[in-house]
């Protein structure tokens, strides 16, 4: 028996474009997985997914008409239960065999054919049989049912089908969209499966307006994509359609000239690919007067509302031309172009109106209005939140003031200016939430605040800080462009984290409605990359103090819960940091070694990791890591150990030698550590390998004499402290 290729297609009404690729991939992979589980698909089978706005399809190569029969061994029961003392079958065994369909006409032969094998402490009876392989008809029906049931459907809809029985009536079907046709071909043969009230055939529909034939008929499974393109005017492959759109966009931009290029937006490209079956890119334009509106507003309204691709010039500035991906190829495209230009004009006019209206009020005049906007029922209004952000930002500046060494008059002036800018930016940062533009396009919060701040005549540093205080908004996003923005952004994220953790709104599983994971990563990046000498525990403690006035109004129990949740926040931040570092390519051992010490200055973590990596490459590293682990285990068994050594109590030559080596090496390593030369500090400590090895070979730590035992434990504690300033080296032990 030879294999043939299989094609399955569900023809439906327009599918949700943002989910189309995911639906297509899931449909194909689930079909193939279910067929493979039933033995109907070869190991070298190739699965090709197809997805258009009106169809989900899968082409699977090397599919059997019938799966091979399989030998099956089933455990029946212990021998002592299945056979009596004479070896005759018990009623329990006979009942089990009968249930399995065994031939009991010759009872003696049936019992003799059973296999005996050890099963734990006892011996059991096993029944060998030959399971008939699944046929494609039944196997594909099961696979199709499973694939449909497991589709990642964003939202299910219900619709009715007229029943095909003698009595009139309707049956209800639940699916992402109403389905109208089902195709199932194995080679050139229709596989008689059913789904969603449909019976499989070889016919489907092509493009709504441009199909050459209706219906489109497939002769074989392998002719699917070519026939659909030729007779149906549809590019079946999502990837091919996407690539064709990208090519046409680039060609159209080049035709416009001036170094223009379409805006780079992968999500928009995916969505538009999910909207068209036969893409055709057209160049349109709008009145140049609309370019007076901030380009972010125009770009967003064209992308979000119309699914257009704005054109940018060589300098990245928006032009008054844009690209439309049409689903039809008319001989005269002027009507399509004109229609799209008429549609976009009111959208741009609305944006211009919002922009003009918003500038009639200053941001400062909107501050009082924040008291009327609820932020969270437990955390108060946006006005209260703004006050907390300003408070936290002020505390951060004071922390920077304390960390500035030496504290020169110039540094004082700089920090005074920074404090003034930070307070102004923090107070005004949320006011654009009350503007018409942000009300229409929430994605522009912060961005519009920057524009309106400049219009109000505020210092550019403050305007940039208002614009940037949400950054980084996503993985890979840029940090705020100045110190003012970094302080306000840090304060804003800390307020969210401390507040939400304080009321118990912690992320669970894949649910994170307040984006706390993203906020934590933002805090990490700012503390790591913005060159702030800030201790994490102090930053978090100061942020919690900003909630003091609010907490005074809370019942005692809620205040206690707020305080109890704060340690979890620091754990949460270190967990996010560990995950981020592993994604950057650091090993789990390296990350665990550094973060085990909970370094408070996150800006030092990178240097610590580099030092640990360099240390691990030394020939002494493995032995010192193992010794460090041994020391840790010894010290864990002792409640309190004083890191003090009395030279007069050093009795053995090995402990005398180790103490002498530490007196020479430890001060040098400490000095290197204190100036931030972590790599040199660890390399200096590598010289202790030989005396440490000799100590463990020749010295009994837990000596019977109490004074000797305490002195040796103190020596190990001193060694442990010296070796674990940069990282917990015991984590490097294999």
Question: Backbone phi, then psi, for 211, in 5-degree steps?
Answer: -65, 140
Question: Backbone phi, then psi, for 482, in 5-degree steps?
Answer: -140, 170
CATH code for position 631: 1.10.730
Assess contact for 550 and 558: CB atoms under 8 A: no
Distance between start and end Cα atoms, the chain:
54
* Co-location of 609 and 666 in the same domain: yes
* Co-location of 223 and 243 in the same domain: no
Specify the number of domains making up the chain.
5
Within 510-620, where are the H helices?
Answer: 516-529, 536-545, 548-552, 556-583, 588-595, 605-616
**Which pLDDT does position 401 carry in this prediction?**
84
- What confidence tens digit (pLDDT) does each residue in 579-593 have? 999 999 999 999 999
Assess contact for 229 and 348: CB atoms under 8 A: no
**Which pLDDT does position 66 carry in this prediction?**
87
Is 594 contained in some domain?
Answer: no
* Co-location of 370 and 319 in the same domain: no
Select from 323, 338, 358 the last residue of a domain: 358
Asked if residue 406 has a cis previous peptide bond (ω within 30° of 0), the answer is yes
Which range of residues forms the domain containing residue 555? 364-585
Is 72 contained in some domain?
Answer: no
Tokens 């020479």 label which residue? 664
Ranking 215-229, 248-262, 417-431, 647-661 by mean pLDDT, the lowest is: 647-661
* Co-location of 148 and 217 in the same domain: yes
Is 590 contained in some domain?
Answer: no
pLDDT band at 643 (very low <50, low <70, confident <90, very high): confident
Select from 113, 130, 147 the last residue of a domain: 130
CATH code for position 455: 1.10.3210
**Which pLDDT does position 167 carry in this prediction?**
47
List Cβ<8 Å contacts ≥24 apart for 250-255.
251/281, 252/281, 252/282, 252/283, 252/323, 253/311, 253/323, 255/283
pLDDT band at 10 (very low <50, low <70, confident <90, very high): very high
Q: What is the average pLDDT across 46-59?
A: 97
Judge whether residue 35 has pLDDT over 80. Answer: yes
Q: Which residue has the higher pLDDT, 640 or 350?
A: 350
* Co-location of 172 and 247 in the same domain: no
pLDDT band at 642 (very low <50, low <70, confident <90, very high): confident
* Co-location of 306 and 418 in the same domain: no
**Which pLDDT does position 545 carry in this prediction?**
94
List Cβ<8 Å contacts ≥24 apart for 439-445.
440/350, 440/351, 440/354, 441/297, 441/300, 441/301, 441/304, 443/300, 443/304, 444/296, 444/297, 444/300, 445/470
In the numeric block, which tokens belong to residue 592? 């665990």
- What confidence tens digit (pLDDT) does each residue in 429-483 have? 999 999 999 999 999 999 999 999 999 999 889 999 999 999 999 888 999 999 9
Q: Quick one: which H or E segment has residue 683? A: helix 678-685
Q: What is the average pLDDT across 595-602?
A: 93
CA count, 13 A, side-chain hemisphere, 117 = 11
* Co-location of 723 and 613 in the same domain: yes
Q: What is the average pLDDT across 214-221?
A: 95
The whole-angstrom separation of Cα 88 and Cα 423 is 93
Write down the mean pLDDT value for the chain. 91
- Percent of the chain with pLDDT strictly greater than 90: 65
Is 210 contained in some domain?
Answer: yes
**Which pLDDT does position 229 carry in this prediction?**
96
Q: Is 101 helix (H, G, I), strand (E, B) or coil?
A: coil
pLDDT band at 494 (very low <50, low <70, confident <90, very high): very high
Judge whether residue 72 has pLDDT over 90. Answer: no
Select from 556, 585, 614 the last residue of a domain: 585
Is 593 contained in some domain?
Answer: no
- What confidence tens digit (pLDDT) does each residue in 545-573 have? 999 888 888 899 999 999 999 999 999 99
Assess contact for 427 and 386: CB atoms under 8 A: yes
Q: Quick one: which H or E segment has residue 170? A: strand 170-175
pLDDT band at 428 (very low <50, low <70, confident <90, very high): very high
Ranking 83-92, 508-517, 634-643 by mean pLDDT, the lowest is: 634-643
Is 84 contained in some domain?
Answer: yes
pLDDT band at 410 (very low <50, low <70, confident <90, very high): low
The whole-angstrom separation of Cα 333 and Cα 139 is 48
CA distance to 376, 392, 545, 556, 559, per residue, from 552 (Å): 17, 18, 11, 9, 8
Judge whether residue 140 has pLDDT over 90. Answer: yes
pLDDT band at 1 (very low <50, low <70, confident <90, very high): low
* Co-location of 420 and 515 in the same domain: yes
Judge whether residue 405 has pLDDT over 60. Answer: no
- What confidence tens digit (pLDDT) does each residue in 334-379 have? 999 999 999 999 999 999 999 999 999 999 999 999 999 999 999 9
* Co-location of 625 and 676 in the same domain: yes
**Which pLDDT does position 117 carry in this prediction?**
85
* Co-location of 187 and 116 in the same domain: no
The whole-angstrom separation of Cα 153 and Cα 149 is 9
**Which pLDDT does position 520 carry in this prediction?**
96
Assess contact for 620 and 556: CB atoms under 8 A: no
**Which pLDDT does position 315 carry in this prediction?**
92
* Co-location of 322 and 429 in the same domain: no
Is 461 contained in some domain?
Answer: yes
Q: Which residue has the higher pLDDT, 360 or 650?
A: 360
Q: Is 171 helix (H, G, I), strand (E, B) or coil?
A: strand
**Which pLDDT does position 407 carry in this prediction?**
55
Q: Which residue has the higher pLDDT, 344 or 111?
A: 344
Judge whether residue 486 has pLDDT over 50. Answer: yes
* Co-location of 452 and 532 in the same domain: yes
Q: Which residue has the higher pLDDT, 649 or 272?
A: 272
Is 271 contained in some domain?
Answer: yes
Judge whether residue 734 has pLDDT over 90. Answer: no
The whole-angstrom separation of Cα 30 and Cα 46 is 13
Assess contact for 293 and 348: CB atoms under 8 A: yes
């Amino acid at each position: 028996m030879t294999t043939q290729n299989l094609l399955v297609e569900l023809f439906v009404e327009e599918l949700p474009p943002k989910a189309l690729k995911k639906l297509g991939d899931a449909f194909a992979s689930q079909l193939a997985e279910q067929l493979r589980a039933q033995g109907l698909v070869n190991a070298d089978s190739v699965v090709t997914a197809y997805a258009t706005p009106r169809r989900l399809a899968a082409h699977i190569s090397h599919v059997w008409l019938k799966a091979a029969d399989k030998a099956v061994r089933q455990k029946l029961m212990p021998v002592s239960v299945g056979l009596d003392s004479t070896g005759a079958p018990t009623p329990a065994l006979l009942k089990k065999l009968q249930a399995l369909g065994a031939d009991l006409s010759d009872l003696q032969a049936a019992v003799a054919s059973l296999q005996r094998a050890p099963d734990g402490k006892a011996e059991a009876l096993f029944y060998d049989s030959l399971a008939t392989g699944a046929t494609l008809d039944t196997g594909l029906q099961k696979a199709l049912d499973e694939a449909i049931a497991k589709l990642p459907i964003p939202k299910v809809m219900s619709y009715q089908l007229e029943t095909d029985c003698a009595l009139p009536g309707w049956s209800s079907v639940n699916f992402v969209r109403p389905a109208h046709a089902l195709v199932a071909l194995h080679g050139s043969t229709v596989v008689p499966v059913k789904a969603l009230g449909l019976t499989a055939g070889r016919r489907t529909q092509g493009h709504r307006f441009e199909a050459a034939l209706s219906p489109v008929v497939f002769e074989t499974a392998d002719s699917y994509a070519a026939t659909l393109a030729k007779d149906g005017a549809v590019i079946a492959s999502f990837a091919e359609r996407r690539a064709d759109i990208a090519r046409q966009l680039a060609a159209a931009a080049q035709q416009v000239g001036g170094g223009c290029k379409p805006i780079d937006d992968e999500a928009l490209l995916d969505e538009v690919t999910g909207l068209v079956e036969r893409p055709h890119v057209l160049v349109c334009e709008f009145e140049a007067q609309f370019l007076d509106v901030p380009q972010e507003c125009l770009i967003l309204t064209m992308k979000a509302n119309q699914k257009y691709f704005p054109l940018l010039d060589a300098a990245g500035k928006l032009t008054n031309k844009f690209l439309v991906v049409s689903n039809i190829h008319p001989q005269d495209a002027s009507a399509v172009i004109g229609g799209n230009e008429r549609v976009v004009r009111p959208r741009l006019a609305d944006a211009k109106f919002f922009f003009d209206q918003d500038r009639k009020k200053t941001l400062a005049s909107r501050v009082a209005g924040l008291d009327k906007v609820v932020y969270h029922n437990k955390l108060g209004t946006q006005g209260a939140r703004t006050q907390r952000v300003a408070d936290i930002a002020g505390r951060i500046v004071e922390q920077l003031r304390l960390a500035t060494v030496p504290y020169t008059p110039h540094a004082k002036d700089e920090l005074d200016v920074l404090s003034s800018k930070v307070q102004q930016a923090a107070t005004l940062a949320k006011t654009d939430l009350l503007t018409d533009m942000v009300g229409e396009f929430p994605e522009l919060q912060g961005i519009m605040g920057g524009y309106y701040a400049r219009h109000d005549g505020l210092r550019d540093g403050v305007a940039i800080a208002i614009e940037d205080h949400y950054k980084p908004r996503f993985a890979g996003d840029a940090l705020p462009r100045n110190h003012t923005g970094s302080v306000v952004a840090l304060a804003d994220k800390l307020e969210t984290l401390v507040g939400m953790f304080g009321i118990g709104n912690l992320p669970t599983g894949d649910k994170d409605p307040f984006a706390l994971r993203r906020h934590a990563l933002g805090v990490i990046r700012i503390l790591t990359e913005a060159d702030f000498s800030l201790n994490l525990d102090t930053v978090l403690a100061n942020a919690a103090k900003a909630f003091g006035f609010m907490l005074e109004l809370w019942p005692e129990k809620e205040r206690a819960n707020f305080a109890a949740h704060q340690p979890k926040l620091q754990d949460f931040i270190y967990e996010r940091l560990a995950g981020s570092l592993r994604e950057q390519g650091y090993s789990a051992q390296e990350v665990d070694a550094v973060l085990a010490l909970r370094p408070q200055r996150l800006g030092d973590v990178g240097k610590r990791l580099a030092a640990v990596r360099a240390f691990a490459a030394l020939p002494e590293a493995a032995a010192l890591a193992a010794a460090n682990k041994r020391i840790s285990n010894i010290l864990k068994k002792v409640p309190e150990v004083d890191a003090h050594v009395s030279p007069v109590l050093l009795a053995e030559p090995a402990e005398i030698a180790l103490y002498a080596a530490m007196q020479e090496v430890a001060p040098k390593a400490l000095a290197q550590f204190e100036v931030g030369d972590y790599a040199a500090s660890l390399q200096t400590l590598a010289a202790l390998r030989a005396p440490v090895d000799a100590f463990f070979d020749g010295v009994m730590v837990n000596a019977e004499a109490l004074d000797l035992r305490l002195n040796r434990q103190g020596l190990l504690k001193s060694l442990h402290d010296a070796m674990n300033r940069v990282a917990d080296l015991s984590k490097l032990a294999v």
